Amino acid sequence: MITPEHHVQTLAIHAGRLNNEKLGDIVQPIHVTTTFERNPDGSLKDYGYTRSANPNRQTVENKIAAIEGAATAVAFSSGMAAIAAIFEIVLEPDCHVIIPDDCYHGTRTLLENFLKRWKVSYDQVDMAVVATVEKSIKPSTRLIWMETPSNPQLKIADIQAITQLGKKNNIYTACDNTFATPLLQKPLDLGADFSMHSSTKFFSGHSDILGGIVCVNRADVATQLRGYQGAAGAVPAPFDCWLLNRSLATFPLRFVRQCNNAMVIATYLSTHDKIEKVFYPGLTTHSNHAIAKKQMPNGFGSILSVLIKGGREEAFAFAAKLTIFKHATSLGGVESLVEHRRSAEGNYPISPDNLVRIAVGIEYVDDLIQDLAQALD
């Protein structure tokens, strides 16, 4: 029997298996049905309607809850749908939210373009400094949203210190854990109410499905999230859940290789004369390296950003000369990508014009280094 005490490599393959698979399939079938026949008395067998629950979704949710060490994981059709669900159940009119100054632009867009209508205000603060977060708390603050490491400047927030602030002031705390994944960091264990993932990224790992996950321990919050998932209906399709379940089996192997590759690349680029700065929490020169080491004891992730000496033109020229790395948005897949972030950040750009984000894949690291070297030359 699989128990929470098993190693993550074992959980990633075996956890979540449902005991209603009567034929003993080793690979779960895809339950593409939207509806399920009822018992003669009208009661449900195991499932009723796929928006409310589906075996493939249930498997994937149970597996991710096991990997994260959470009581409950709730799956959505994208990372943004997962973020919107947390906002929906936590926020109320006239409340205030604190978000990182350097967070995924979609999170900011949701607050700026859609939640202002409900008189939800927000402040963007430098969460690398806990005192700055404390100073921005207002009586109406309802949620502190962390993203650590942040996208794209890899800023590190001290999750434990910030969740303590939340508890002291009766404020919900959530962490976008997409970059770290539960292999490196478990925000719920550090006191957060929500740990959220874009499963489009490392969990999927193959750049072929969108998805979002919210992990929680509190039963009251789990009930609200589950209710919202079924009511709003931004749920992943059974086939996407099947693909995600399959991808999760190799997630620990893939991610360890990605992190190791990223460390080698960050170290290489940090001494390159065409590079002005490397943002990577694994480097001792990172301003919050000590906190990163404390809360991410198993590694520092596979995303780094660099400032190319020069400006926008030099950044684009570098991206264009790469042959293995492709210039495309997103991250977490087996293939290495780069992106000029400022041009991807829509109406609220925050990144310097010479910043290129590097999402490291699982290719042979010497080939990646050679590609970077020829592009910088």
Residues that bind ligand PLP (CB under 6 A): 78-80, 104, 106, 147, 151, 176, 178-179, 198, 200, 210, 212, 330
Active-site option among 47, 108, 122, 176: 176
63 catalytic residue (yes or no): no
341 catalytic residue (yes or no): no
Closest CB 335 distance from ligand PLP, rounded Å = 15
Give 16 or 212: the residue with its C-beta nearer to ligand PLP: 212
Give 212 or 352: the residue with its C-beta nearer to ligand PLP: 212
Rg, C-alpha atoms of the chain: 21
51 catalytic residue (yes or no): yes
Q: Are 77 and 236 in contact (CB under 8 A)?
A: yes
- Give the pair of three-digit tokens for residue 135: 């100073």
> Phi/psi of residue 364, each to 5°?
-65, 130
Which residues sit opposite 76 in a β-bridge?
212
Q: Are 280 and 258 in contact (CB under 8 A)?
A: no
Closest CB 22 distance from ligand PLP, rounded Å = 34
Give 100 or 166: the residue with its C-beta nearer to ligand PLP: 100
Give 13 or 183: the residue with its C-beta nearer to ligand PLP: 183
Q: How far apart, in whole angstroms, are the C-alpha atoms of residue 149 and residue 11? A: 25
CA angle 51-53-59, nearest 5°? 130
Give 13 or 84: the residue with its C-beta nearer to ligand PLP: 84
Closest CB 78 distance from ligand PLP, rounded Å = 4
- Residue number of the CB closest to ligand PLP reads 79
CA angle 349-350-353, nearest 5°? 85
Active-site option among 108, 142, 201, 357: 201
Would you give the DSSP letter of residue 302? S
Active-site option among 17, 51, 294, 309: 51
Closest CB 104 distance from ligand PLP, rounded Å = 4
254 catalytic residue (yes or no): no
CA angle 250-357-99, nearest 5°? 90
Encoded amino acid at 362, one letter: I
Active-site option among 47, 102, 104, 193: 104
Mind telling me the catalytic residues? 51, 104, 176, 201
